[in-house]
Amino acid sequence: MDLRNIPFIKFFPTDIPRPWLPVTIKNPHTNKSINLYGLVDTGADECAIPAQYASMIGHNLQAGISKIINTGNGQTNAYSHTMCIETKGLVINNVLIDFLPNLNVVLLGTKSFLSNFVLVVDYKKQIFSLEK
């Protein structure tokens, strides 16, 4: 299944329209999930989610794989947990997602998410597509 011509979203009037995608992040061990919007981010190596959501979906944040990563804000600790990402009928299982303190949005990165698709972004029309 392909997702075509998804419109960019502005959450607030002063926002720049961006390629946001509604996603369900699911813990396969507890079946708990959370619905959020993820930013399609070709500059992010991995998928990342704010650390505050770990306990909501049944993960002990610090029980994940611990690593130090570089972000636009400098180095930070990340805790990786295995998750499922669902969006508009597409499911990607066994995705390692980095839970990051001081992150405010979900980032849909290249290795574990975007590498499953051909991404077409039309900034002029403010739409994007994900094709299998």
| CATH number of the domain enclosing 36 | 2.40.70.10
126 occurs within a structural domain = no
User: Which DSSP string corresponds to 50-114?
Assistant: EGGGTGGGT--GGGSEEEEEEETTEEEEEEEEEEEEEETTEEEEEEEEEEETT--SEEE-TTTTG
Domain count, the chain: 1
87 occurs within a structural domain = yes
31 occurs within a structural domain = yes
For 80, how many CA atoms within 13 A lie in the half-sphere containing its CB?
13
Domain range for 79: 20-121
Q: How large a percentage of the chain has pLDDT more than 70? A: 99
For the stretch 85-96, pLDDT in tens is: 999 889 999 999
pTM, to two decimals:
0.93
10 occurs within a structural domain = no
pLDDT above 80: residue 15:
yes
**Beta pairing partners, 90:** 87
Six-digit token string for 2: 């392909």
How much is the mean pLDDT over the chain? Answer: 94
Six-digit token string for 58: 């049944």
80 occurs within a structural domain = yes
58 occurs within a structural domain = yes
